Structure 1
């Protein structure tokens, strides 16, 4: 079954997501880019609030949008975010010089890191294989420009299927995200990733708006039902 990852920005949103059907809590600031990072104090407060209430859902947090030429800053931020108590630290991987060195360093840095491949300019097959040959617990694909369409507008369904299959064959979990909405659920049912990330679809208005409990509960119910009963794709695939 495809599990639901919901991105939240503070304690109230995290508690709402946990009670509304999320399987993963993901910490980020949507106003600061695709992988905008939260203040360390906020990350620690969310983790503490969840654990104080015996909510054992896995928690991830992004480090922020850092370029592949900022290796030292990336590694320092990974350690700082991990020290807040999250289960996984998410790091964006761009198709750019230096990405291979970043992946190699992340694979041996200590914390459980989830590389997030940014798909706007396509995926580098060699870079993906390099990541799959490392010990990452999960790999994701996402988009940077949320106004340019969804992940399914950026990548063709067969290419996404190859991503999921390649990651799974390595023993890691495969995750997808990128302006996903309710009409994309049939396509997700065909892909069957281990988890799918949502923000806009569960907000009132834009992705920077407030989390909406009704939207979240409806999405959780439909995602889990659709994942169990794949149907024909009804969204355009670029």
Structure 2
């Protein structure tokens, strides 16, 4: 299970890379669950990392755009993808138009990772459709971080099913949503390919600056996490 750390600028990206992150994820945490950064900032982070020989995968969100606005979604995906990121993350809300958006994203020519927002439960039909469309990965996340974590939004059996079926479909699977170091063992039991963090690497609010000590503590917790069923 690899560690995805969300950052908002070059300084945080370099700190995350040096501190043990396996994925660098670009977002503006002060603008919602998948708040988007300015295109200039995304490009600057990519350049800064690559010029220093840092080859970690880089993802970036497009911002919290509503499902009916598919034109804006696709335009933003193209702009973010053109910055040289490895993955473009797009939030997928529980909405009647989600299926059409997923189909368009699968055919847009960019490596899109749909992120299903789990606060109101999963639309299993949309998730199942996404598994047939050849995306490199699927993720779960939550929108209302103060309402609890992903584990509060969805039951463990739902999470297990999401991880199992997504991996069976040949895709990477990621989990995020107000996750903390205290969730390390539960995440180890689920064994996603990567787990995403922002709140856990900040001293106060998730919109505060990334904190090196918090990151170090998280890395250690994840490194030594063990699934409860395998403990001796």
Q: Which TM bucket (shorter chain)?
A: over 0.9
Correspondence 1:123 to 2:122: yes
Query: How many angstroms does 1:204 deviate by?
Result: 1.4
Q: Give the Cα–Cα distance (whole angstroms) in 2 for the partners of residues 191 and 52 of structure 1.
A: 36
Structure 2 unaligned segments of length 5 or more: list them: none
TM-score (norm 1): 0.95
Q: Does 1:112 align with 2:111?
A: yes
Specify the alignment match of 1:78 in structure 2.
77
Q: 2:150 corresponds to which residue?
A: 151
**RMSD of aligned residue pairs (Cα, Å):** 1.0
Alignment correspondent of 1:181: 180
Aligned-pair CA distance for 1:220: 1.2
Equivalent in the alignment of 1:235: none
SS in 1 for 2:134: coil
Unpaired segments ≥5 residues, structure 1? 233-238
* 1:231 and 2:228 are equivalent in the alignment: yes
SS at match of 2:60: strand
**What are the Cα deviations for residues 66-86 of structure 1, in whole angstroms up to 9, with x where unaligned?**
011000000000000001110
Aligned length: 230
Note if contact 1:186-1:231 (Cα within 8 Å) is conserved in structure 2: yes
Instruction: Kindly provide the CA deviation profile for residues 177-214 of structure 1, in whole angstroms up to 9, marking residues without a partner as x.
Output: 00001111111011000000000111110100111111
What is the 5 A alignment of 1:164-175?
Answer: 164-175=163-174
Give, in angstroms, the shift of residue 218 of structure 1.
Answer: 1.7
Instruction: State the Cα deviation string for residues 150-203 of structure 1 (Å, max 9, x = none).
Output: 000000011000000010000000000000011111110110000000001111
| CA deviation after TM superposition for structure 1 residue 99, in Å | 0.4
1:208 aligns with 2:202: no
Q: Is the 8 A contact 1:3 1:224 kept in 2?
A: no
Task: Give the Cα–Cα distance (whole angstroms) in 2 for the partners of residues 124 and 97 of structure 1.
Answer: 10
